[in-house]
Amino acid sequence: MINRQLVRHIDWVLIGILLLNSIIGVAFIYSCSHYLPGNYYLKQIFWIFISLVALFLFLFFDYHFLADYSYLMYGLLISTLCGILVFGKLVAGTKSWIRFPFFQIQPSEITKVVVILVLARYFSKRQKELLSFTDLIISGVLFLLPVFLIALQPDLGTALSFLPIYLGALILGGINKKFILFLLIFSMLFGFVGWKYFLKDYQRTRLTTLVSPNKDPLGAGYHIIQSKIAIGSGGVKGKGYKKGTQSQLRFLPARHTDFIFSVIGEEFGFIGVIAVILAYALFVFRLFHSAFMSRDRVGIYIVFMVSMMITCQFFINVLMTIGFLPIAGIPLPLISYGGSSLLANYLAVSLVLNVKMRRFVNV
Amino acid sequence: MNHNSIYEDLTIVLKRVKNTQILFKVLFVLLVVSFWKIQILEYQKYWKKSEANRMREIMLSPQRGLITDRNGVIIAKNIACFKASIIKENSQDLDVSYEKISYLLNLEEDVLRKRVERFQSVPLFYPIVVKDNLTQEEISRIEARQLEFPELMIEVEPKRFYPFNTFAAHIIGYLQEISQEDIKNNKYSEKGIGDLIGKTGIEKQYESILVGKKGKVLEIVDSSGRKKGELLREEPVKGKDIRLSLDFDLQKKAEDLLDGREGAIIVLNPKTGEILAMVSYPSFDPNKFINRFSPEEWQEIASSPDFPLENRVIRGLYSPGSIFKLAMALAALDLNEITEKTSFICNGSILIYGHPFSCWYKPGHGPVNLTSAIQHSCNIYFYLLGKNLGIENIAKYAKEFGFGTKTGIDLPEEKNGLVPDPRWKEEVKKANWFPGETISVSIGQGPLLVTPLQTADFTALIANRGKPVNPHLVIQEEKNEFKTPITREIQTKIDWSSKRKLFEKVIEGMWKSVNAGGTGRLALIDGYDICGKTGSTQIISTSTIKKLGDQIIEIKTHSWFAGFAPKDNPKVVVTVLVEYGGMGGQTAAPIARQLFTLFKEKYD
């Protein structure tokens, strides 16, 4: 299944940049959690190792093979998601974890990789210039089913982070202007119903706070204000590694997960922010660029959806820390603490490597 | 799927990728611009905000649960205590702070510096406790100068207090500051720097029940530490109270009786296994440990040659001496090796395997049967039993009676003791078992080692005519409420329930030992059928005694008494061990007598 020639075509530079970003993550996880019990940074290193092994193992399977079997995997994961809704135990208010003796895992994160494969498989068969209405409905159902199950857990953050994947598929598939109008109306309707009946109170306050954070500075706007103060007071050079004690930040409950970029901004200032953004930009554009080195349509779809997923999550998370987007519970891919999301992102990158190394027909 | 799609036209799709890429390039540039705005253009504004609007998180320690005796006498409670902490972040210059604060708090500058530097790894905003148990005068002195010292903070915390000082110290245990390793290992999930945790005894065993839940206050303070508002307040939740099975009066009496003599006393209820008194002497005052700052005093107590911190009841290992004869008798009866009528002649000494073994009573007891052998604690009788039974049988029955394994009492760090057999000797000592050792073991000497609690547990088993109990300190119904499982499932391999008669025969000997001029006669109370057995253990081997010759009189032995009362329907077991107490009948038995007397007065 794999031979020396394939190994030669592995994009080692991409793996290097991937690791670079992961190590940046470990450094900042250590900075803001070393005085807490739990040894988060060690756990993260452990997960990087596991994910890297998984990444290489995943390369053994030709992406065509994976795409062909994606419906089967899709079915399995949907049953798993249903299963934990019924049998799962509540952890921190959601039923999104499967517990193992030494660790726990969120199947919802892994679902992303499978959804990418399913959508790539489906859309690569549509070779017209624009998508038909039927295509839209079928793919929409394929996509919304897992998202809906995850939203029920309830884990709206993760559910939300699926959107860029589908968006990517639609961009490539091409959509009629009429469809865009339809989607807009549909999403507004959906948004209205959601706001009225589905969102929890705290989620509603988060959205209103975004518009005017100073209305309730000690309440809901608190996290946004504190995060902005932390980043702003970092200045050009920052306050130094581990010295970002701008005390406020320790009251952000998720400083080693969702708010890790605030820590970077505070401790390394504008220079650090630029450096991390640059390292990240290198990473995501190398991902996007891989689309041009794909052999076929299904490959392009895979590469593009992976790139969209990671890039959009990055933007959503960073814009959240400076108060441009509501606090959505979306981690910074590769950098935030969290094993399942790390594993999912590594597997996604593995798919890109997979497409890239099998770009020549006759191997 | 058809994989030969290489010739399809992908230009439209790739163009769309390209456009998206361009869009994201623009977004990246805009992102950098936003950070430029926040971090460079608006830096001053945010920096001022960060200075003027600091947060401070103060932990509110919960009250620990009370510990009471069975009748509600409070043995461990909480009193208010003031502590002073340094917040490094608020200090302009730490060296100056050390100098001034050491003067203010009357601490040595070095000690203060070391204390703060021990907490290198904690964030700068974290308060580090530098002095506790502040006096009123110190508090007013600090408060008067609060503005000068934004880095110094006073907090109130509940402090553990043991009103009876050394009373039941080994049972209750003590608290100490949690170690950095324990925090790193996440052993106590809710605990952080500067918190006190139970280090021994009930305080450790039931830590999770006693501890309660911390509260916290989130305050807004300005850069000089003045409070400007409160963001959040979570009240602490008091820990659950624990009621022990101890009886205050019995415990006090037992402590007084043992005062000045190293040893151990256990009084327990043989029906339930509830411990009414448990004493280990010498003792210590646990109040002295609840202090973050006087390691010298602790060191002194911990390294004292008579080990006051050791709970001898569960951690002291002693030869059981003649007490073990009871186990020998039961084993021999159960194996039909003897009946109560079997008798041997005691001439004061006997030659077995070519070695002379002597009875403690030099003139010899003459003909002895089972009852009189127990009554007078005749060695010769049991030497012969041991020879007939063999070490494998002795070890099997000793284990059956609970020796060699923990009793499973709800106290940490109980010891196993040791039941020797040939396999043990081969594995540990790398030597063969000598037949002569069997003879030593049969009167409770040799390598056989037991804890006083195991002895009490064994006595309860005899009192119950074969039904074992779990000795424990927290009253069972309440323990169930905590959902802590019983640590040991009691099980005997042999079903003794049909063999009550064997026990009656041994108990007859124990009754005579006390009531008919036997070795336990000094435990006698008129009208209270006490049954007991004495023991005196040689601390040095017989061969050494021979070498020492006449000086033997100077060497005292450990003194044991194990007994229960009344004979029928027993209500109490008393076990006494006095180190270097001499003959068991002379030292341990009278102590037991006084405890039986008090029990009778109070509960009968």
CB A220 within 8 A of CB B27: no
Share of chain A above pLDDT 70, in %: 82
| Chain B residues close to A232, C-beta within 8 Å | 38-39, 42-43, 45-47, 49-50
| pLDDT tens per residue across span B68-82 | 999 889 999 998 888
Q: Give Cβ neighbours of residue B295 (< 8 Å, ≥ 6 apart).
A: none
**Which residues fall within 8 angstroms of residue A346, CB to CB, at 6 or more apart?**
A18, A51, A52, A54, A55
Q: How many CA atoms lie within 13 A of B138 on its CB side?
A: 20
Q: Per-residue pLDDT for B257 more than 60?
A: yes
Radius of gyration of chain A (CA): 21
Range A297-330 burial, b when 16+ CB lie within 10 A, else e = bbbbbbbbbbbbbbbbbbbbbbbbbbbebbbbbb
Model pLDDT for residues A223-271, shown as the tens digit of each residue: 777 788 888 888 888 877 766 655 444 555 567 777 888 888 988 899 9
Short-list A6, A12, A45, A39, CA closest to A342: A45
Q: Nearest chain A Cα to B27, which residue?
A: A315
- Give the mean pLDDT of chain A: 83
Residues A111 and A77: beta-carbon distance below 8 Å: yes
When pLDDT is averaged across residues A275-293 and rounded to a whole number, the result is 94
Predicted confidence (pLDDT) at residue B177 exceeds the cutoff of 50: yes
CA nearest to B203, candidates B182, B161, B163, B175: B175
Tell me what ipTM this predicted complex has: 0.88
Q: Is residue B322 flagged as an active site residue?
A: yes
pLDDT at B276 exceeding the cut of 80: yes
Share of chain B above pLDDT 90, in %: 31
Residue B380's closest CA among B332, B338, B439?
B439
Distances (CA, A) of B279 to B282, B310, B562, B575, B581: 9, 11, 15, 10, 16
| Alpha carbons B160 and B81: distance in angstroms, whole number | 9
DSSP state of B39: I
Nearest residue on chain A to B89, alpha-carbon basis? A245
Beta strands B67-68 and B242-243, pairing class: parallel
Residue A44, both tokens: 């993260």
- CB nearest to B183's CB, from A37, A300, A315: A37
Regarding predicted confidence, which is higher, B339 or A97? B339
What's the token pair of residue A120? 């790539």
First to last CA, chain A: 10
Q: Residue A252 carries which side chain, given as an amino acid letter? A: L
pLDDT reported for residue B114: 82
Contact with chain B for residue A231, Cβ under 8 A: yes
CB contact under 8 A, A318 and B31: yes
Beta bridge partners of B59: B216
Mean pLDDT of chain B: 84
Say how far apart CA B296 and CA A118 lie, in whole Å: 69
CA pseudo-torsion sign B414, B419, B425, B427: negative
Instruction: Return the bridge partners of B57, or none.
Output: B218
Strand partners for B574: B267, B563
Task: Identify the residue among A130, A226, A246, A294 best suited for mutation to test binding to B, counting B beta carbons within 10 A and taking the highest.
Answer: A246
The beta-carbon neighbor of A277 closest among B5, B13, B28 is: B28
What CA–CA distance (Å, rounded) separates A158 from A258? 12
Q: Nearest 5°: CA angle at B64, between B214 and B171? A: 140
Instruction: Show me where the domains of chain A are located.
Output: 4-357
Q: What CATH number is given for B311-603 in this structure?
A: 3.40.710.10
Instruction: Indicate the burial class of A350 (C-beta count within 10 angstroms; 0-12, 13-18, 19 or more).
Output: buried
Q: Which of B85, B322, B377, B440 is catalytic?
A: B322
Mean pLDDT of A331-355: 92
- CA–CA gap between residue B94 and residue B96 (Å, rounded): 5
pLDDT of B312 higher than 50: yes
As a whole number of angstroms, the distance between CA B544 and CA A219 comes to 81
Distance CA B236, CA B212 (A): 8
* Chain A / chain B CB contacts < 8 angstroms: 144
CB B158 within 8 A of CB B64: yes
Work out the average pLDDT over A9-20: 93
Report CA-CA distances (Å) from B170 to B109, B204, B494. 36, 11, 34
Dihedral over Cα of B523, B256, B262, B247: its sign: positive
Whether the pLDDT of residue B299 is over 60: the answer is yes
What is the model's pLDDT at position B305?
A: 76
pLDDT digits (tens, 9 = 90+) for B383-419: 999 999 999 999 999 999 989 998 888 898 899 999 9
Q: Best mutation site among B10, B12, B13 for testing chain A: the one with the most A CBs within 10 Å? A: B13
